[in-house]
Amino acid sequence: MLARTADSLFWFARYMERADFVARIVNTTRRLESLPSGESNVANEWEAALSAVGVLEAYEAAHDKVEPNTAIEFLLFDARNPSSIVNCIESGRVNARAVRTALTIETWQTINEGWQEMKKVQAKHQARGLGTEELVAFLDLAMKLALDVDGSAYRTMLRNDAYWFSRLGLYVERADNTARILDVKYNILLPESEHVGGSLDYFQWNAILRAVSAVTSYHWIYRDGVKPWLIADLLILRPEMPRSLLACYGEIVRFLDDISGAYGRQGAAQRRARQILGRLENATMKDVFSTGLHEFLTDFIEDNNSIGGAIAEQYLLD
C-alpha cells in the first residue's frame, strides 16, 4: 500500500471519530448549562468543552471571552477551527474520496451522503442561523454519521491493511478523546466554590458518562452510585469498556501487529504501543492516583501523540 493511501485511511477515521466526539461534548455541555441557576458556571463549562476538544487557545485567539453562542459556533461551524464538526466531516470526506478504491461502496456512500446532509445544514446556518431543534438535529447527524461509517466499515471492509490503518486512526483518536475529557473534568470543570461530591460534581460526572455512552456500562460493572474514582477506573483500566484507554491500546497493538505480520517487519510503532499497553495492563487506580490523575493523563496524551508520530514516520510518510 502506498504511504499516502495509508495516511488518508488513517486520517479519514480520525476525523470521523473527532466529529462524533465534538458533537458529544457540545451535547454534554448544553445539558450542564441547563442545570438550575446557582449550580452551573456557564463560562467555565464552555471553557471546559473547548479545552476537551483541544481548541481553547485557538478560540481565545479569535474571541475576547468564552460565551455559549460563540463557543457553539466555533465548535460546530467555524472555518478557523480545524476540529469543528463541519471541518472534521469535510476533511474526513476529502480523505475518503482520495482512497475510494480502498473503501467499500457502502462506506463511501455513507460518508458522502452524510457530507451532503451536512452541507445542507451549513447552508441553512449561513442563511438564517439554526434554531435549538435544528442544532440538536445537526449534533445527532454528526454522531449518527460517525456510527454509520464505523458500522459500514466493520461490516463490509476486507480485513487487510486498508481496514487496519483506518482502525488505527479511530483508536488513536478515541484514546486521546477519553483522556482529555477525564483530565478536563478533574482540572477545569468544577468551579472552585464547589466541592467534590457535591450536587454539581454529581451532575457533571453523570454528564461525562453520557458523553462517552457509558451510563449503563458503569452501573452494570460497579452496581454503585456515581463515584469519580470508579468512573476513572472505567475509562482508564477496564478492558471491556470500548472507550477506555486500555481497550483502545489493546486494539492499537492488535492492528499494528496485523500490519507488521502482513509486511513482514516490526518497528518503533509496535514497540512503543506495547510499552504503553503494558503500563496500562499493570497499573491500578491506586498507582494512578498516587502519581496524580492529571499527571497520569497528561503523560498518556503525550505518549498517545508519540504513537501517532511513530505510525506516521513508519508507514504514512513517503
In tens, the pLDDT along 121-179 reads 999 999 998 898 999 999 999 999 999 999 999 999 999 999 999 999 999 999 999 99
Lowest mean pLDDT among 13-22, 28-37, 110-119, 254-263: 28-37
| Cell representation of residue 264 | 513482514
Do the beta carbons of residue 31 and residue 59 sit within 8 Å? no
Please name which of 304, 295, 186 lies closest in space to residue 245, comparing C-alpha atoms: 304
* Whether the Cβ atoms of residue 274 and residue 253 lie closer than 8 Å to each other: yes
Read off the C-alpha cell for 213: 455512552
Residue 208 phi, psi (nearest 5): -65, -45
pLDDT for 244? 96
- Nearest Cα neighbor of 209 from 70, 57, 28, 63 is 28
Instruction: Give every CB contact of residue 296 below 8 A, 6+ residues apart in sequence.
Output: 288
- What is the per-residue burial (b if ≥16 Cβ within 10 Å, else e) of 282-299? ebeeeebeeeebeebbee
Measured CA to CA, the distance from residue 187 to residue 128 in angstroms comes to 37
- Confidence grade of residue 206 (pLDDT, cut at 50, 70, 90): confident
Query: For residue range 53-80, what is the model confidence (pLDDT) as tens digits?
Result: 999 999 999 998 999 999 999 999 999 9
Q: How far apart are CA 62 and CA 59, in angstroms?
A: 5
- Per the prediction, the chain carries an average pLDDT of 90
Question: What is the enclosing helix (H) or strand (E) of 190?
Answer: none
Return d(Cα 86, Cα 81) in angstroms, integer: 9
| H or E element at residue 313 | none
Distance CA 160, CA 144 (A): 25
pTM: 0.91
Residue 48's CB: how many other CB atoms inside 10 A? 25
Residue 175: the pLDDT is: 97
Give the residue-averaged pLDDT of 30-54. 75
Q: What percent of the chain has pLDDT over 90?
A: 73
Core vs surface per residue 19-40: b (16+ CB within 10 A) or e: bbbbbbbbbbbbbbeebeeeeb
CA distance 112 to 290: 47
Q: How confident is the model at residue 199 (pLDDT cuts 50, 70, 90)?
A: low
The pLDDT, as a whole number, for residue 200 is 54
The total of other beta-carbon atoms located within 10 Å of residue 195's CB is 11
> Across residues 249-269, what is the average pLDDT?
95
- Give the pLDDT confidence score for residue 223 in this predicted structure: 86
Q: Nearest 5°: phi and psi at 298?
A: -65, -45
Task: Write down the pLDDT at residue 194.
Answer: 43
Q: What is the dihedral of CA 211, 216, 220, 222, to 10 degrees?
A: 40
Q: Are 266 and 311 in contact (CB under 8 A)?
A: no
- Tell the residue number behind the cell numbers 460493572, with chain if given: 221
State residue 201's pLDDT score: 62
Q: Grid coordinates 455513507 are at which residue?
A: 110
| Rounded CA separation 243/182 (Å) | 12
Q: In angstroms, rounded to a whole number, what is the distance separating the alpha carbons of residues 263 and 315?
A: 11
CA 287 → CA 232, 248, 279, 291, 295, distances in Å?
12, 20, 11, 6, 12
Contact 92, 112 (CB under 8 A): no
* pLDDT tens digit sequence for 81-97: 999 999 999 999 999 99
Residue 312: pLDDT band with limits 50, 70, 90: very high
